[in-house]
Chains A and B, each alone.
Chain A
Amino acid sequence: MTTVMFLLGGLFVALVVALMFAASSSGYGGLVPIIGLAGIGVAFYQWWNSDRTAMKAMRAREVSPEEAPELHGMIDRLCALADMPKPRVGIADLDLPNAFATGRSPDRAVVCVTTGIMGKLTPEELEAVLAHELSHVAHRDVLVMTVASSAGIVAGMLMHGARFGALAGRRDRNSAAFFMITLVVSLVVYAISFFLTRLLSRYRELSADRAGAYLTMKPAALATALQKITGEISAIPQRDLRASQALNAFFIAPAISGATLKTLTSTHPSLEQRLEQLARIQAELGRPAS
């Protein structure tokens, strides 16, 4: 669910870049750095308030140790094992099995689970999911992803600076051709930063899987939890069935393996990739000491 926050950030970068374009092309070039700074300011604000915003967006409420003793007990023990401050705990009343962690720092973090995930997973699997989320907190993923998506805004500002700097001596600097070139280059910069942000997000997910599996020492529990969660989500079709079936019927296996657009833009690594990593950790933990 952290991914929802990341998605919104991406959309926001696009908006700021577009605004800067509008300002400079309509003659208010001086506004460009101000818009850029305001954009970074909003990104900062989002990060600063990420715990409250995410809790509200998910309609989650904070629960006390008396209300959810098992959940708190699990998190208490995991935090003692990982030697990290205990985050606040929230429960969202949703059937969708999911969990997320946000907050500007480990001291101000909140870990939230849905009622769906609590009903669907065994205690052992729930613990594995919580360890994954706590690893997100320990790795400061909200901060890292905010900085990464702000990079798009900074790139846009530098583009404009370069444009006015390099073309200062030219009389035709506002001609249509130059405008088109800047537009295209800016879009390319944005697209690259978009894919890089996604790449970073997938890397962070794998890092959290790994750290979580070493924390609970039960990679198998995280593996079955992931299978249960993703199985449930992908059971709801994303596309119109008629649209995809016509072509897929001709393929025994997907035509393009490896880097498809879907794997490049997804915020999470594929289930196979995650299970492979967990299997490696399992093998490493099980190897007898010589």
Chain B
Amino acid sequence: MGFWKAVTGRSGPVPARLDALFEVPSAAVILQTETGFTPAGTGSVCYRGAAGAAFAQAQRDIVDLLQAAPSAPEVQVSADSFGFTWLTVAGDPGDSSGLCTDLHAVNTTLEAAGFGSGLLCTLIPFRDASDRRLGLVYLYKQGTFYPFAPTGPQQRDNLLEIHMRDALAQELPMENDLQRWLAVWDAPGL
């Protein structure tokens, strides 16, 4: 947002950056080989649903589009306590690039309908042999990733998160500002 636009009070919604999502499959390989975390096979997009018919139509289009695809993944729409909508796509755990294509379809459909600015984050859950949970979260507006490792109802494993950040720093643009590492406790699929 430009300084002049801000000072004159004409700031607009920030557009989402979508392309970095395609770097996830290679990062998933790194995670698996270096830390033992494997993809859980699901992925979810978190967005703010706008009021009105246009948005309801766009969301219906997304679900139809995904279920018409040859892989026909399972699609689930749920709402969280902060008023955001989570659209969860469940596919084949071994095929993370297929999953990313599905998630990208969600993003582009929303953007084409004019709701790209409502995209908050995407979460791709991972698990390791000792059943530790890890979510790789992509922030659409910043275009960066961060790890989220919940251990209890309101607890997260910060050491594991920082370890994951360092492990993935070569592969993905990681979020440097720790304040932006949103806690998404009730995210579906984690």
- For B54, what are the chain A residues with a Cβ–Cβ distance below 8 Å? 285-289
Q: Identify A220's interface contact among B11, B14, B51, B139, CB under 8 A.
A: B51
The answer for the CA separation of A77 and B120 in the assembled complex, in Å, is: 8
CA gap between A208 and B58 in the complex, in Å: 27
B1 touches A138 (CB 8 A): yes
How many residues of chain B get a CB closer than 8 Å to chain A's CBs?
40
A203→B109 CA distance, assembly (Å): 35
Q: Select which of B7, B55, B142 is within 8 A of A285 by beta carbon.
A: B55
Task: Report if B180 contacts A (CB, 8 A).
Answer: yes
Q: How large is the interface on A (under 10, 10 to 19, 20 to 34, 35 or more residues)?
A: 35 or more
The reply to whether the CB of A277 lies closer than 8 angstroms to some CB of chain B is no
Q: Mark A201-215, 1 if CB is under 8 A from B, else 0.
A: 001100110010011
* Chain A residues closer than 8 Å to B12, beta-carbon distance: 211, 214
Known A80-B142, A82-B14, A140-B7; contact A73-B51, beta-carbon cutoff 8 A = no
- Interface on B for A, CB 8 Å cutoff? 1, 6-7, 9-14, 48-55, 57-58, 81-84, 112-115, 117-118, 120-121, 139, 141-142, 154, 177, 179-180, 182-183
- Contacts A85-B179, A127-B82, A288-B54 supplied; 12 other A-B pairs, CB < 8 Å: A76-B180, A80-B120, A80-B121, A123-B81, A135-B11, A139-B6, A216-B83, A219-B51, A282-B51, A285-B50, A289-B57, A289-B113
In the assembled complex, 26 residue pairs joining A and B whose CB atoms fall closer than 8 Å, in A order, are: A74-B82, A76-B183, A77-B84, A80-B182, A81-B48, A83-B1, A85-B179, A86-B179, A123-B81, A123-B82, A123-B83, A127-B82, A138-B6, A139-B6, A204-B9, A207-B10, A211-B9, A211-B12, A214-B12, A217-B118, A218-B51, A220-B51, A285-B52, A287-B52, A289-B112, A289-B114
